Structure 1
Amino acid sequence: MLDRLAHSRGLPQVIRTDYGKEFCGRAMVVWAHVRGVQLRLIQPGKPSQNVYVESFNSRLRDEYLNEHWFPTLLNARTEIERWRREYNEDRPKKAIGGMTRAAYA
């Protein structure tokens, strides 16, 4: 997954995560080291240090995942991508004066 993302968007210099075992495990540490990506972990119990990701994950879960059932993994990927595009491109954002990100860019 991370290699596909890196291929389409390029490698980041830093990845900030919480202490989830998927982010602290050997595979992630080795992946980052081999590619020269620095891992930064937020302090335990401080989700405010990763507020944008926490906000997005909360909205995804509350607005979409809890409301839908996906019969296949392909269906889940397709539908979640549709929601993500709407969230990122079509939804007005207060932080940029009520404009969509597409209009702001």
Structure 2
Amino acid sequence: MTEHQTSERRGCRIIGISQSLLHYRPNAERDIPVIEALQDLAHHYPAYGFGLMFNKLRQAGLSWNKKRVYRIYCRLKLNLRRKGKKRLPNRNPQPLAVPINMNPCWSVDFMSDALMDGRRFRLFNVVDDF
């Protein structure tokens, strides 16, 4: 900004940022106690998610902001791993065998239907596959 002889305020307005962003210095040391506490809890309770860990921190008397703790929790990648679905093995369908003569293979089926007056009836069908 000294090269173009403009003020800091005007330069920030032209670029579209706030002046506080220009002077911001991140303070990573503030997060160190939260990181240590979360890693300790994750080591002792590997099945706990964020909610249970945050409750444990509260019970221990640590009153950090929930959004701050969640931001650090996500940055540490402590999210629970979800178990994937158990996949069924690939099946190779075989063509149906065609019977050569009568009586080696039979098929059965249950059916139900209703008459015009609303009465229901059931059928047990037995069929020779030939």
TM-score normalised per structure 1: 0.26
Hey, which of these two has a bigger chunk of strand by percent? Answer: 2
TM-score normalised per structure 2: 0.22
Hey, which of these two has a bigger chunk of helix by percent? Answer: 1
- Higher gyration radius (CA): 2
